[in-house]
């Protein structure tokens, strides 16, 4: 499904009777002129856009789906699966599309086994090529998916007199690159084999009799958005890290400004003093200033007015794959994103100058 990101119109309402930041309310308006929907959260707007404006067949956004007459039959996307129009280059092998939900954004493939298989290992050996084709296609299409493998089996008791059907399923696993498909599929196989062994050894009195079918549920994986403040992990150290303590979704803009314009920030009482010439205590004050989002207000207004950096459409929380769009708007800027283990989440494609490096962390639920 080739979808251009649909962005809301952001409306700012200021309450003169409250103190910052409680005096600011952000509303997210649907960009279509015939739609008067207003939301307080981006997740609500996204759900509205997919349900009310996304064509389930061709994968494009329209102002009114009721006025959308038809679609090209050769378009790619999850939505086509609900109409039986899967792309010809997708080789399903012995799998068939079982169902789609949420306007085709979550697919279920099923493979029914005609011959008797005596173990889950044989199931994976018989299905691995088809699994690799399906997962590889959608990983290449979406750059990342989440998938769960389940096996429907018939169990029999130790005496062979009674049988029962049972589902064994793996958790949803992330597939972010074609080279990791084999490793991740084997991880799901180990999980299911262990589940079967624990089920039999836990006093259930049943053992595997036959395998009926295998199902694969997959959907597009959307990585976390770059937003919010999280305390710097101790493993990284705080000496060379600038962690801006934002209370809203402006951390992406402020991080870019910190990477490009940090040298323009000065201490109010010593405006001619640079960080390199400062003493130890003065450097601590510099660091406190760097981590205060208020310090960047004048810089943000300056670069916005001059057009030096184009932040239009990037004023809120951003996903790593949206940074490519920001770099296209600002060809003089390169950005890399790392997690706390220094693994690259998003690397700059071209080195126009010294790249800005952003770190990304996740809080424990």
Alpha-carbon distance of 323 to 346, in angstroms, equals 8
Mean per-residue pLDDT of the chain:
76
Model pTM?
0.47
Nearest Cα neighbor of 174 from 164, 185, 161, 158 is: 185
319 pLDDT more than 60:
yes
Of 26, 42, 67, the one marking the end of a domain is 67
pLDDT per position as a tens digit, 153-181? 988 888 878 888 888 989 888 887 788 88
Q: What is the CATH number of the domain that holds 114?
A: 3.30.1490
Alpha-carbon distance of 319 to 337, in angstroms, equals 10
Q: Are 154 and 180 found together in one domain?
A: yes
343 pLDDT more than 70:
no
pLDDT per position as a tens digit, 224-270? 555 567 777 666 666 778 888 887 777 888 888 888 888 888 888 88
Identify whether 238 is part of a domain: no
Mean pLDDT of 203-210: 82
pLDDT value of position 16? 82
Identify whether 151 is part of a domain: yes
Place of tokens 């696993």: 173
104 pLDDT more than 90:
no
**Enclosing H/E stretch for 232:** none
Identify whether 192 is part of a domain: yes
pLDDT per position as a tens digit, 118-147? 889 999 999 999 999 989 888 887 777 889
Identify whether 14 is part of a domain: yes
pLDDT value of position 145? 85
Mean pLDDT of 195-202: 82
Identify whether 34 is part of a domain: yes
Residue 136's region, left for phi above 0, alpha for psi from -120 to 50, else beta, is alpha
Three-state secondary structure string covering 84-135: CCCCCCCCCCCCEEEEEECCCCEEEEEEECCCCCCCHHHHHHHHHHHHHHHH
Relative orientation angle of helices 251-261 and 297-306, to the nearest 10 degrees = 80
pLDDT value of position 60? 65
Q: Are 94 and 150 found together in one domain?
A: yes
pLDDT value of position 168? 92
Alpha-carbon distance of 132 to 353, in angstroms, equals 39
CB 220 within 8 A of CB 145: yes
83 pLDDT more than 50:
no
Q: Are 101 and 134 found together in one domain?
A: yes
Q: Are 100 and 119 found together in one domain?
A: yes
Alpha-carbon distance of 253 to 249, in angstroms, equals 9
Identify whether 225 is part of a domain: no
pLDDT value of position 79? 44
Nearest Cα neighbor of 147 from 134, 157, 160, 158 is: 134
Backbone Cα Rg of the chain: 26
* Domains of the chain: total: 3
Range of the domain at 100: 78-220
Q: Are 160 and 103 found together in one domain?
A: yes
Banded pLDDT at 69 (limits 50, 70, 90): low
pLDDT value of position 251? 80
Identify whether 332 is part of a domain: yes
Relative orientation angle of helices 120-142 and 181-199, to the nearest 10 degrees = 140
**Looking at the chain, which runs of residues are DSSP E strands?**
9-14, 24-29, 38-39, 96-101, 106-112, 145-157, 163-169, 173-175, 206-220, 335-339, 344-346, 356-360
């Amino acid at each position: 499904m080739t979808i251009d990101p649909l962005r809301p119109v952001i409306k700012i309402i200021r309450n003169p009777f409250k103190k910052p930041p409680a005096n600011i309310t952000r509303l997210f308006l649907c960009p279509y002129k015939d739609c008067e929907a207003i939301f307080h959260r981006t997740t609500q707007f996204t759900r509205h856009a997919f349900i009310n404006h996304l064509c389930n067949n061709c994968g494009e956004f329209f102002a009114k789906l009721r006025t959308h007459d038809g679609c090209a039959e050769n378009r790619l996307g999850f939505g086509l699966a609900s109409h039986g129009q899967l792309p010809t280059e997708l080789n399903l092998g012995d799998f068939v599309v079982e169902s789609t939900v949420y306007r085709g954004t979550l697919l279920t493939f099923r493979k029914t086994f005609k011959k008797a298989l005596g173990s889950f290992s044989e199931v994976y050996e018989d299905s691995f090529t088809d699994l690799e084709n399906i997962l590889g296609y959608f990983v290449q299409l979406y750059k990342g998916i989440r998938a769960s493998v389940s096996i429907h089996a018939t169990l029999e008791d130790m005496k062979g007199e009674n049988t029962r059907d049972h589902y064994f399923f793996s958790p949803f696993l992330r597939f972010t690159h074609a080279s990791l498909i084999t490793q991740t599929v084997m991880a799901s196989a180990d999980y299911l084999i262990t589940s079967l062994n624990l089920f039999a050894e836990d006093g259930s009195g049943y053992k595997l009799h036959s395998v009926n079918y295998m199902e694969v549920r997959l959907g597009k994986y959307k990585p976390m958005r770059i937003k919010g403040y999280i305390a710097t992990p101790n493993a990284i150290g705080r000496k060379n890290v600038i962690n801006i303590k934002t209370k809203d979704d402006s951390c992406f803009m402020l991080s870019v400004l910190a990477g490009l314009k940090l040298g323009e920030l000065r201490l109010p009482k010593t405006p001619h003093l640079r960080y390199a010439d400062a003493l130890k205590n003065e450097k601590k004050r510099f660091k406190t200033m760097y981590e205060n989002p208020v310090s960047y207000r004048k810089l943000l207004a300056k670069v916005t007015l001059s057009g030096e950096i184009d932040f239009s459409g990037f004023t809120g929380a951003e996903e790593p794959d949206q940074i490519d769009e920001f770099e296209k708007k600002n060809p003089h800027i390169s950005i890399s994103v790392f997690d706390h283990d220094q693994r690259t989440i998003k690397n700059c494609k071209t080195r126009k100058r010294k790249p800005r490096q952003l770190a990304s962390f996740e809080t424990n639920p």
